[in-house]
Chains A and B, each alone.
Chain A
């Protein structure tokens, strides 16, 4: 497979973004109250594809909506009827700008759960119809640890188009997948010129090395996987979850958390059934009618969260359910870090 690389400058990149927006429905980080969320945009000036990772929500809602309408229904004494909603045209071709590498990776992780047994066709259609355009971070944030996990950040193939800030103001636009390649054919303008891999590679490598060298957090995920799987009963889970306020926001901002709940909203005789996010840190996540709850206390719920991310999902689907983006830590009102939790717990388990 030949993948093409282009080189351009700031102005050329703007032109490229404009061409993307002209060719497809485009989503990009839009700022509000100092926080960026991915929204539909029509102009480059509305958005910031290089938004800081610490202030940007994940792209998960574009594939797994925060609330999806499952169906509409009518329920009267005369009878009941259900019908699918006509919202969210899945066939629309989309592009997303400013996707972080960790976010792009999260889709690969989610693919596993959505494509085993029952296939989530809506998710799949959204995946197929979307081009992921990702700008590589120039440096890591305080809570980033993507390079410590089970994926190759440098050669990530979860993204279709890679944009890298090279040396001397040069900006590289590189296709990573066949989808990205054909997309670039449509959208790259005269302001960007093709460049051979021999010329581009050293510069890309240099940028990556500088990025990879900027991480504060480093860990050996294999060691964490192995140790955690053996220490279900460690009291350390109580210590690490002590100041958690059970606010659940970690799961809502996490790009890989995929638990959901189903709820009805009914006014008079008609209603809508929604599928919306939920969090295992909720006290009532596993509370059954009749009062039985397998995880009645906070540390058990935290244990489920940590173990699901680094043990259970790995056992079942072969991936860590964490991409090292640090979004949970940033959103957490008391800054509990999943990185610290799993490292502290696995370290404590060994001492005993």
Chain B
């Protein structure tokens, strides 16, 4: 197994400062032929190592439909992520293992209305799916993105959100927690805006949500209140991981390995797990 734990080397192609504490790293394999073999689907994650500091789990924030690179958006939160933020620059090299885990149920989503509910850095895994769906736009019906952040400065992917807003086939709803002078859009927490502003169609709609644990919890409550069924609510879990191979035991929730059976779960599946996430 030791070989499986040895990462491939990637070069940082571009660093984008998304918010004061989130940076997106655009990565390319040093060995260019690797990129073709690196096939992944929205929802999967990689193990990202800053050699010497350690390894962290991040979802892939871009879609394989945009070829030649992949993105990881990293929030400065712990020891390794702080090191990454402080020392990793364009041209530097990092280790990548993956892709690991399952992906969003792409077949199930076909022909459905899609509602994306994201909060903060939780937009990263959704962005992968959003890009994928926009690139295959004809496969899906109505397309709504609800995205909330604490402040307008904390919104990730600002440029890309503008692109989505310019796209006539995409309905984008933005919200921030507290009023700001220059902010003309919605104000309020995500579940509130979901109920009061978005007011989604329940029929034939799949909801994909990701954000801080507390946001997910209340969003699911709101969705249930609106009348969504458990199998139609899809989320992706954050759990401490180390190996990504279903061996190290960290991501166990009951007999489920989040790194193998997840990180994407429907609310129906989550309900059968012990309440430990």
Q: Which residues of A contact B (CB under 8 A)?
A: 68-71, 73, 75, 77, 79-82, 84-85, 113-114, 116-123, 232, 258-264, 266, 271, 273, 275, 278, 280, 285-292, 294-295, 300, 304, 307-308, 311-313, 315-316
Contacts and interface: CB of A to CB of B under 8 A. Distances in A.
Given A84-B3, A266-B53, A304-B252, 16 more contacts: A69-B2, A70-B5, A71-B2, A71-B5, A75-B51, A79-B93, A258-B249, A262-B55, A264-B49, A273-B5, A288-B78, A288-B238, A288-B240, A291-B77, A292-B213, A294-B239
A138 B196 CA distance: 73
Contact of A313 (B75, B255, B260): B255
B254 interface: yes
Interface residues of B, number: 45
Contact of A295 (B3, B79, B276): B276
The secondary-structure label for the interface of chain A is mixed
B2 A260 contact: no
B6 A289 contact: no
21 contacts: A71-B5, A71-B6, A81-B9, A82-B7, A113-B246, A114-B247, A122-B3, A260-B242, A260-B243, A261-B242, A262-B248, A266-B51, A266-B52, A271-B52, A285-B250, A286-B240, A289-B56, A289-B80, A291-B77, A294-B239, A315-B254
Contact of A263 (B54, B93, B238, B240): B54
A75 B49 CA distance: 11
A231 to B, nearest CB: 11
A121 B276 contact: no
A46 to B, nearest CB: 30
A214 B250 CA distance: 38
Which interface residue of A79, A261, A273 has the most chain B CB atoms within 10 A? A273
Interface of B: 1-7, 9, 49, 51-56, 75, 77-81, 92-95, 213, 238-240, 242-243, 245-250, 252-255, 260, 274, 276-277
Interface of B is mostly: loop
B51 A80 contact: yes
A254 B93 CA distance: 39
Contacts of A304: 252, 276
Contacts of A266: 51-53
B249 A259 contact: yes
Contacts of A77: 92
A17 to B, nearest CB: 32
Contacts of B250: 259, 261, 278, 285-286
Contacts of A290: 75, 77-78
A288 B276 CA distance: 13
B245 A117 contact: yes
A291 B239 CA distance: 12
B255 A73 contact: no
Contacts of B2: 68-71, 84-85, 122, 275
A300 B277 CA distance: 12
Given A122-B1, A290-B77, A294-B239, A315 B93 contact: no
B149 to A, nearest CB: 15
A262 B243 contact: yes
Which one of B2, B55, B250 has the greatest number of beta carbons of chain A within 10 Å? B2
A184 B128 CA distance: 59
Contacts of A121: 1, 3
10 residue pairs, one from A and one from B, having the closest CB atoms: A289-B78, A266-B52, A259-B249, A120-B1, A80-B93, A289-B77, A290-B77, A312-B255, A315-B255, A75-B51
Contacts of B7: 82
